[in-house]
Chain A
Amino acid sequence: MDIAVKDGKIVEKVDERKAEVVDASGMIVMPGGVDIHCHIAGAEVNSGRLLRPEDHVKDVEVKTALTRSGVGYSIPSTFTTGYRYSRMGYTTVMNPSMPPLEARHTHEELDDTPMVDKASYPLLGDWWFVLEHLRDGLVEECAAHVAWIMNATKGYAIKIVNPGGLEAWGFGGNVRNVDDPVPYFNITPREIIRGLCKVNKLLNLPHTIHVHTNNLGKPGNYITALDTMKCVEDLAEGTHPVIHVTHSQFSAFKGSDWRTMSSGAEEIAKYVNHHNHVTLDMGQVIFTDTTTMTADGPFQYGLYQLTGNKWVNHDVETETSSGIVPFRYKRKSAVHATQWSIGLELALLIQNPWKLCMTTDHPNAGPFTAYPRIITWLMSQMARKKTMMKISKRARRNSLLPTIDREYGFYEIAIVTRAGQAKILGLKQKGHLGVGADADVAVYNVNPELVDPSRKYKAVRKAFKKAAYTIKDGEVVVKDGQIVKPVYGKTFWLDVKTSLPMEINDDLKQKFREYWTIEYENYAIPESFLHVSSPISIKAEV
């Protein structure tokens, strides 16, 4: 079967005499990779880079005639990030945490991330305007404000992290469950999640609300994850998802403390298998020295207390917070090994691959360069067994993996690493090779007709590590894992058009000064600020 590309799009056919031919015979051809959740740009990522010179010194990229120099390992510099994704055949990446006040910073860094198309999600779950409007039951007003901030920050989706907990963290507190009221604001996390879910529907946004649950990383938190998914069950219409629970591994712990911590993956998977309104991404743990960074200030503080490592905290006025702590996942730690098992259990127990995305919540559970390894774990029970032999005995005893013999096929891998991700994101031109799609293609040097991925997983890993070809917008940019043509991708953002006037009146402009320390006119990012702006026009119901 042949695929024809013209002017950056997949077309029915082209004149073969004039076309450049890429011979992919004997290789697997997939749409370019899509990563729904990877921390690669912005204030918190950059603070992480600053924090870890020791992480960079062991992994350098030398300048070449075509590429800029840089460093890795868990938090690569921007050029290196783009090159490394492209070398693995990825063409679209989404930065999931953008403090709205510092959105400019995120976009500056995204502009310096070559080779891939990108977008970013503003953090709105603790924004004072959201908390106040939802507390007062003003869902439509809330929606109008969310539309404004989506445009102002050039964002792509509503991101919610530990809803209510970040506002409580402003004074050093947290929320304990979805019904624990937020101090001073008289609203519960449940109300925030439901409210923003309704807002998301009113605004017709392409993706659902993207939620990092309360109580992340706490033994017993699978209950909170279930509560979070249940609390918007009634808001679902038909089979469309209304909530995406991100890096779900971190929210699938059973037990009451670290000694009794075990996997809650079975319960989560059971729920997801019976409900169509939820999608998830994995957050798969890799045994390595990495860096945790999330907007969940109190969680990160807890991690610092647990490890005694260096700790960065950055609270953002009126909006959100963040924290960074270096972290090493050890095979012999029963807890870490159980976490490793949880991610895979979720992926293997959830029957429909369209509901799941493969991620490591880069760099929280591991660097994105480990994706090929995760692919082998999903495709080969043998590969899983090999890793299991080296992990903590207790974790091995308790793990469900020995009882699961499901192995992903190449088609399912394509779904969880690109097709499903694009669909969940609502990116209609990505994740497939049908006519009209963006010509983002990845060719991997492994022959699905000859190679049994269950046994020859090492060959599979090698193939996915270095794409034979990566094609971006119809141009060959990577060949045999080397950059052959540096390009800069587009930045997607939502241009939400509400029927209510978008002008925020003088009263609100005045409120602006009360809430923030910058002027209203300096907050919004003009379209010209983005190097390659690609707005997506949305018509809202308000």
Chain B
Amino acid sequence: MTVVTGVTCPVCGSFCDDIELVVKDNVITDVRNACAMGAAKFLNYATHRNLRPLVRKNGELVEASIDEAVKRAAEILVDATYPILYGWSNTSCEAIRVGVELTEEVGGVIDNTSTVCHGPSVLSVQDVGIASCTLGQLRHRADLIFYWASNPWSAHPRHIERYTMFSEGRFQKSTWRGYLSRLRGLVSKKRLQRAANLVLRRDVFAAPEVEHRLPYSMFQKKRKMVVVDVRKTRTAEAADYFLQVEPNKDYELLQAFRMLIRDEELDVDKVAGVPVEILEEVADIMVGCDLGVLFFGLGLTMSEGKLRNVDAALNLTRDLNNRTKFLIMPMRGHFNVTGADVVFTWQTGYPYAIDFSHGYPRYNPGETSVIDILCRNEADASLIIASDPVAHFPRKAAQNLVKNPLIAIDPEVTPTTLMADVVFPSAFVGIETEGTAYRMDHVPLPLKKIVDPPKTCLPDQEILQRILNKVRKLRRNQN
């Protein structure tokens, strides 16, 4: 039995690297320090996995040798006119580098999950720039933390304890105790409300009266958290203040803050459902902080306005830097999606949606992004690695993906592998094979190999390299 320390968790963008694993006979038996998702991964990754390469024959997926699968995959890519190679977010940078080389070789399009996630944030950054930092800067210095359209409690469970409110920094202290007492207060308040409901038959879910002033605690000189969202998430419950914004109205709210930061007056009473008096007070707090940070999530990139919402948030941060120190960071969710963007950028100059069909990298999201390519029905083959588009793409795109030859590289059985024509079982990065990956703030971290993979499960970069070698061979024979 061994204890492996300093393990980097390969689940979300928080990249907690203080995980400890207890390993016995090549099996992980215990996980310490991980959140629910991390623990679920380390303890359950081995169920529901692909163990053998599969090839579709007569409509059915049957077991095949690795060489046969490689040959079939290479043939699919070489025969295709406009293949797409998509995914990349759950694998290592080493594998991603081979992926770019493969896409360049077959003249296809390479895209990663940013395209359905923080792609619009990237587009906005390319227009405005971004005032950001590494997470440690916030742990040490941030006294005002905004989570806007983002719910770390569900998607990045240890974010708050490792980097913001409940973390200890050189200049700022953890607010854990304050939160606990507030939580106790909240729980007893809910209990009383439920009791009152039973006794008085009053509707306990009546919408609370809209407040026109911030609670007193917001004006105290201490570390504060504000959550802006369309519904009161668990993160919002832990916040010092929750700003409920109407759906699809984040843009108006951000622009209103920009005006207030610039000492302009608002002509209306409410913006996005929030009274202007509240906005004015929040703006004062923003300007008066030592160092503020705005974390934003998919609520901004996916709702109406998309990149324009992020535009407004980035510009708000820029404007705030005229008055105080303020930073902004997108909450990247998928394990190594940041790494995929980073590798694509250094090798091709562009972060995602890269088209190699002309022999050099071309970038035009909206044209070269996979959802658009699929909806226009232009791709005639695909290689999907470390992601599950059949489960997560809108139906029309998923349908057009499935109807053409589909190569899937994944350690697990997923809706995508079930619909594929060639399936490669791979080793889990960060558990069965090592690699490098990037945290949401662009800090690179090493991933360890903890246990040995089954012999039939190769690391992603090896599978890709074999396909690449075969593709080159086939093309040489063709010429």
Contacts and interface: CB of A to CB of B under 8 A. Distances in A.
Assess A/B contact in the complex (Cβ within 8 A). yes
Interface of A: 41, 43, 45-47, 49-53, 56-57, 60-63, 68-71, 75-79, 101-102, 104-105, 108-109, 112, 170-172, 184, 301, 304, 309-318, 321, 324-325, 514-522
A77 B348 contact: yes
Nearest to A63: B359
A312 B442 CA distance: 13
A511 to B, nearest CB: 11
A522 B9 CA distance: 12
Given A77-B348, A317-B140, A522-B6, A112 B97 contact: yes
Contacts of A53: 126, 349-350, 363
Interface stretch (B203-211, B234-242, B321-329): B321-329
Nearest to A308: B318
B327 A313 contact: yes
A310 B314 CA distance: 10
Contacts of A61: 360
Interface string B105-142: 00000000000000000100111111111111101110
A310 B137 CA distance: 22
A162 to B, nearest CB: 17
Given A56-B361, A521-B5, 20 more contacts: A47-B442, A56-B350, A63-B104, A63-B356, A69-B360, A71-B349, A71-B350, A78-B347, A102-B443, A104-B445, A310-B127, A315-B134, A317-B139, A318-B140, A515-B136, A517-B135, A518-B443, A518-B445, A519-B5, A519-B17
Contact of B445 (A77, A304, A318, A522): A522
Contact of B348 (A51, A70, A105): A70
B87 interface: no
Nearest to A106: B444
A314 B126 contact: no
B137 A108 contact: no
Contacts of A301: 321
B351 A108 contact: no
Contacts of A184: 171
22 contacts: A41-B346, A51-B129, A60-B361, A63-B360, A69-B359, A69-B361, A78-B346, A170-B291, A171-B290, A171-B325, A310-B129, A314-B134, A316-B133, A324-B129, A325-B129, A515-B170, A517-B139, A517-B443, A518-B17, A518-B445, A519-B5, A522-B446
A331 B441 CA distance: 38
Contacts of B97: 112
Interface residues of B, number: 61
Contacts of A517: 134-136, 139, 162-163, 443
A316 B346 contact: no
A515 B127 CA distance: 34
B141 A170 contact: yes
Contacts of A310: 126-129
Given A109-B346, A516-B136, A171 B141 contact: yes
B348 A71 contact: yes
A522 B358 CA distance: 40
| A-B interface, 4 closest residue pairs, ranked by CB to CB distance from nearest | A317-B136, A172-B325, A310-B129, A315-B133
Contacts of A325: 129
Interface string B332-368: 0000000001110111111100001011110100000
A43 B347 CA distance: 13
Contacts of B141: 170-171
B351 A50 contact: yes
B445 A56 contact: no
Interface in B182-237: none
Contacts of A518: 17, 443, 445
B93 interface: yes
Given A109-B346, A519-B6, A172 B321 contact: yes
Given A50-B345, A519-B6, A313 B139 contact: no
Contacts of B244: none
A106 to B, nearest CB: 9
Contacts of A105: 342, 438, 442, 444
Contacts of A522: 6, 8, 17, 445-446
A325 B443 CA distance: 21
B136 to A, nearest CB: 3
Contact of B442 (A45, A68, A71, A314): A314
Interface string B359-393: 11101000000000000000000000000000000
Contacts of B290: 171
B131 A46 contact: no
A521 B6 contact: yes
B128 A46 contact: no
A403 to B, nearest CB: 41
A104 B436 contact: yes
Contacts of A109: 346
Contacts of B358: 62
A112 B133 contact: no
A310 B101 CA distance: 31
B349 A104 contact: no
Contacts of B126: 50-53, 310
A153 to B, nearest CB: 12
Contact of B324 (A43, A172, A304): A172
A347 to B, nearest CB: 32
Contacts of B265: none
A62 B445 CA distance: 32
B18 interface: yes
A129 to B, nearest CB: 13
A313 B132 contact: yes
Among B141, B343, B442, B444, chain A packs the most CB atoms within 10 A around the CB of B444
Interface string B170-187: 110000000000000000
Nearest to A170: B141
B347 to A, nearest CB: 6
Interface in B1-31: 5-6, 8, 17-18
Contacts of B136: 101, 316-318, 515-517
A70 B130 contact: no
B18 A519 contact: yes
Contacts of A57: 363
Nearest to A316: B134
A14 B6 CA distance: 53
A527 B389 CA distance: 37
Given A46-B342, A69-B361, A312 B324 contact: no
Interface in B146-184: 162-163, 168, 170-171
A56 B344 CA distance: 14
Contacts of B327: 313, 315
A316 B125 CA distance: 19
A62 B324 CA distance: 46
Nearest to B105: A63
A444 B350 CA distance: 34
A102 B442 contact: yes
Nearest to A99: B134
Nearest to A80: B349
Contact of A49 (B101, B137, B324, B345): B345
A522 B443 CA distance: 11
A62 B129 contact: no
A364 to B, nearest CB: 16
A101 B129 contact: no
B347 A79 contact: yes
A522 B437 CA distance: 12
Contacts of A170: 137, 140-141, 291, 325
A521 B358 CA distance: 44
A517 B137 CA distance: 9
Nearest to A519: B6
A499 B227 CA distance: 53
A104 B446 contact: yes
Contacts of B343: 108
A47 B442 CA distance: 10
Contacts of B131: 311-313
A313 B128 CA distance: 11
A109 B343 CA distance: 9
Nearest to A314: B132
